[in-house]
């Protein structure tokens, strides 16, 4: 017997949810906001928009299909099954958070606040979900786009995968000391604010800010392109450290290697510093294109 498709709806707690959890009651939350010149009605309107989007998504799931719902904080403890259809209701960052926990599942991003969120990854309206689920359940997954991902692996077997970018540096964002080895055999000891290595998806965010700040002529990758871009943030020249190797590209199977020369560095993906890979003095990390991609239904 063939099981009906399962749709897993992923969301995150709204700002109103967080505020109520912190203050215990709506009255206390309203007082806290009012004392800072804000009104709780603003957060209530955003909360209602997200709730309405979730309701529209769940009502679009066929009655005979299986369904599940999880909050973003529970993603590390949730097991996605092969063939699951994953619907992310929220900002673009929620899609990036999901990417590291899925394999070949199709992901659909739903934007509950199009006037507020860019909708680069969460690009669909809630009322389009019914047709999108029907398309995604087809044999070709609705022609889902394969977005390149990035991985970092340390010499002691730790590994982390991300959709947007990997940051490697000090957890306090103070000066990080390391030796950088891009493809080609060159190596340079550096002291900087860290290294950003980005996919084409991440090239619209943190990576792009570094690219714009230095007026770089490096061509940034496209989201589905098997290519990464890397930038060193604020490299510092000294008798022991250089500033020659501060940007570049990585193609398929090319590796950027970083060897820690600080007591503790971290590597984390997509801004999730709580889920970081630590490196101690002398440890090396290899950053490159991931073997898998995110199947995002446009």
* pLDDT tens column, 42-101: 999 999 999 999 999 999 999 999 999 999 999 989 999 999 999 999 999 999 999 989
User: Tens digits of per-residue pLDDT, 252-296?
Assistant: 999 999 999 998 999 999 988 888 999 999 999 999 999 999 999
Mean pLDDT of the chain: 93
Is residue 138 located within the same domain as residue 256? no
Residue given tokens 């991931």 in the structure block:
290
* Cα distance between residue 110 and residue 129, in whole Å: 8
Considering 96, 118, 143, which residue would you say is the last residue of a domain? 143
Residue given tokens 């957890």 in the structure block:
171
Give the pLDDT confidence score for residue 141 in this predicted structure: 61
Residue given tokens 């003095």 in the structure block:
281
Give the pLDDT confidence score for residue 204 in this predicted structure: 86
Structural domain harbouring 108: 6-143
* Cα distance between residue 185 and residue 286, in whole Å: 14
Is residue 21 located within the same domain as residue 63? yes
Q: Mean pLDDT throughout 207-227? A: 94
Joined together, the tokens standing for residue 38 give: 């804000």
Considering 143, 164, 180, which residue would you say is the last residue of a domain? 143
**pLDDT reading at 34 higher than 60:** yes
In a domain, 58, yes or no: yes
Considering 86, 121, 143, which residue would you say is the last residue of a domain? 143
What CATH number does residue 171 fall under?
2.60.200.30
In a domain, 298, yes or no: no
The sheet with strand 247-251 has its strands ordered as 247-251, 227-232, 195-198, 165-169, 264-269, 276-280
Is residue 190 located within the same domain as residue 64? no
Is residue 122 located within the same domain as residue 167? no
Q: Mean pLDDT throughout 133-146? A: 81
**pLDDT reading at 224 higher than 80:** yes
Give the pLDDT confidence score for residue 99 in this predicted structure: 94
Is residue 39 located within the same domain as residue 122? yes
Is residue 72 located within the same domain as residue 191? no
The β-bridge partners of 167 are 196, 268
Contact 166, 269 (CB under 8 A): yes
The β-bridge partners of 229 are 198, 249
Is residue 163 located within the same domain as residue 222? yes
* Cα distance between residue 250 and residue 239, in whole Å: 28
- Residue closest to 8 by CA, chosen among 52, 70, 55: 70
* Cα distance between residue 211 and residue 201, in whole Å: 14
Joined together, the tokens standing for residue 39 give: 């009104």
In a domain, 88, yes or no: yes
Is residue 278 located within the same domain as residue 168? yes
Contact 95, 107 (CB under 8 A): yes
Model-level pTM greater than 0.85?
yes
What's the total number of domains in the chain?
Answer: 2
Is residue 101 located within the same domain as residue 219? no
Contact 52, 126 (CB under 8 A): yes
């Amino acid at each position: 017997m063939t099981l009906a498709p399962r749709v897993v709806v992923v969301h995150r707690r709204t700002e109103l949810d967080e505020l109520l959890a912190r203050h215990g009651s709506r009255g206390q939350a309203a007082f806290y906001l009012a004392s800072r010149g804000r009104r709780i009605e603003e957060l209530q309107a955003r909360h209602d928009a997200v709730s309405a989007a979730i309701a529209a998504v769940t009502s679009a799931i066929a009655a005979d299909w299986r369904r599940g719902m999880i909050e973003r904080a529970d993603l590390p403890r949730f097991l996605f099954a092969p063939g699951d259809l994953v619907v992310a209701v929220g900002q673009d960052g929620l899609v990036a958070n999901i990417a590291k926990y899925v394999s070949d599942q199709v992901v659909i991003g739903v934007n509950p606040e199009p006037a507020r969120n860019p909708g680069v990854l969460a690009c669909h309206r809630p009322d389009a979900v019914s047709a999108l689920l029907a398309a995604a359940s087809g044999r070709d997954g609705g022609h889902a786009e394969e977005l390149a991902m990035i991985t970092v692996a340390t010499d002691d077997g730790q590994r982390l995968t991300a959709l947007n970018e990997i940051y490697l540096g000090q957890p306090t964002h103070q000066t990080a000391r390391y030796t950088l080895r891009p493809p080609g055999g060159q190596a340079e000891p550096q002291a900087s604010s860290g290294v950003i290595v980005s996919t084409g998806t991440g090239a619209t965010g943190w990576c792009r800010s570094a690219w714009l700040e230095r007026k770089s002529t490096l061509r940034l990758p496209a989201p589905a392109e098997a290519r990464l871009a890397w930038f060193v943030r604020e490299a510092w020249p000294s008798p022991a450290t250089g500033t020659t190797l501060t940007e570049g590209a990585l193609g398929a199977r090319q590796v950027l290697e970083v060897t820690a020369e600080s007591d503790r560095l971290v590597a984390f993906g997509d801004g999730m510093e709580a889920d970081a890979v630590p490196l101690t003095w002398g440890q090396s990390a290899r950053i490159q294109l991931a073997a898998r991609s995110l199947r995002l239904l446009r």
